[in-house]
Structure 1
Amino acid sequence: MPTATPSPDFVAALREYQPLVRRVCRLYCQDADDRQDLFQEIVLQLWRAWPRYVPQPDAKLSTWLYRIALNVAISNLRQRTRRPARVGLDDDAARSLAQPTESSAYEPEEMAALYAAINRLSDVDKAFVLLYLEDRPYDEMADILGITQNNVRVKMHRVQERLRRLLVPASTH
């Protein structure tokens, strides 16, 4: 059982990887309050698991964090889908997701369309997209998702094809 006060190592790790956890939350929750609740749940689960974390020479801390964050996010999403909730993105949520960053090369409308398309993917496919957008190598994706690298390549190709179909304007069908 974790101590009442998180260790300095845990706090430092959380500080370093907080953007990673927030991206997972943003991908799995459209509502700001739900995102914050999910963030807190992920942090709680990370804190509970921290005493059992043993660094591995061939594994990154981010891999371990991703695995927990994605598992909590998917479990949380499944629990939320059992009770009535808003479906899809409303205009305000789409705009908030599409806020350009300094490094964004895309227009807000393109980002909103991308996130709307991602929102239509399955829970597992969303995980693939998130890891891909994070520039995670296939071997790390395989570790996080618990599948082979070859399986990652095949699934990644299929997810990309699904996204392409979702992003094609309806007038071109």
Structure 2
Amino acid sequence: MGSDFYQLSILPFAGIIIKICRAYTNSQQDFEDYYQEVCLQIWRSKDNFNQESEWSTWIYRISLNVCLTYLKRRKDGDKAIVSDALPEEAIDDSKAFVSDEINELYNAIKHLSETDRAIILLYLEEKTYEEIADIIGSNTNNIGVRIKRIKDRLNKIINQKD
């Protein structure tokens, strides 16, 4: 992967990738593996980007697909991901997670199903219901109902810990 492609096409969206990878991993090693695999898949699929949606939507789709695929593989016992450390630039972006409230929210999000995690992460990124439906492969009305239910569930999870 060329450093120009990384600097121009991936690094500006590192926050998106970090948040999604964080929601689907439980250890720093897994997080780093997922992050690196997402970046690799973005680079590999760059020629398939058809510009029917925003580049950030493409990044979301790839990030979610990679995380869900590797989560499934790990559940099935496949530990095939091998990585080096996260790039220093990406580590700097992870400062968004130093807040206790944010950590509590992400811990609660980990209790959700894979699809509900994806939906709430997109919602937290202030994506519209239409964008979320497009990324998830659902319809707008369904997304609205699911977000309401997800918020209720997250409130219950967080309030049970108090």
With the shorter chain as reference, the TM-score category is 0.7 to 0.9
The 3 A distance-change label for structure 1 pair 170 and 53 is closer
The answer to whether the 8 Å contact 1:10/1:50 transfers is no
What RMSD over aligned residues (CA atoms) do the two structures have, in Å? 2.5
The residue aligned with 1:14 is 10
TM-score, length-scaled by structure 1: 0.76
Q: Does 1:151 align with 2:117?
A: no
Q: Aligned partners of 1:146, 1:84: CA distance in 2, in Å?
A: 27
Equivalent residue for 1:137, pick from 128, 135, 146: 128
The 3 A distance-change label for structure 1 pair 112 and 23 is closer
Superposition deviation, residue 49 in structure 1: 0.7
**Which residues of structure 1 form unaligned runs of 5+?**
86-95, 101-107
Larger radius of gyration: 1
Q: Sequence identity of aligned pairs in percent?
A: 33
Where in structure 2 are the equivalents of 1:15-94 lying within 5 Å?
A: 15-56=11-52, 59-83=53-77
Equivalent residue for 1:168, pick from 156, 159, 162: 159
Q: Which amino acid aligns with 2:34?
A: L
Superposition deviation, residue 82 in structure 1: 2.3
Superposition deviation, residue 143 in structure 1: 0.9
Q: Aligned partners of 1:36, 1:138: CA distance in 2, in Å?
A: 30
The answer to whether the 8 Å contact 1:24/1:70 transfers is yes
Q: Aligned partners of 1:132, 1:168: CA distance in 2, in Å?
A: 21
Structure number with higher relative contact order (C-alpha < 8 Å, ≥ 6 residues apart): 2
Higher helix share: 2
Q: Aligned partners of 1:52, 1:112: CA distance in 2, in Å?
A: 35
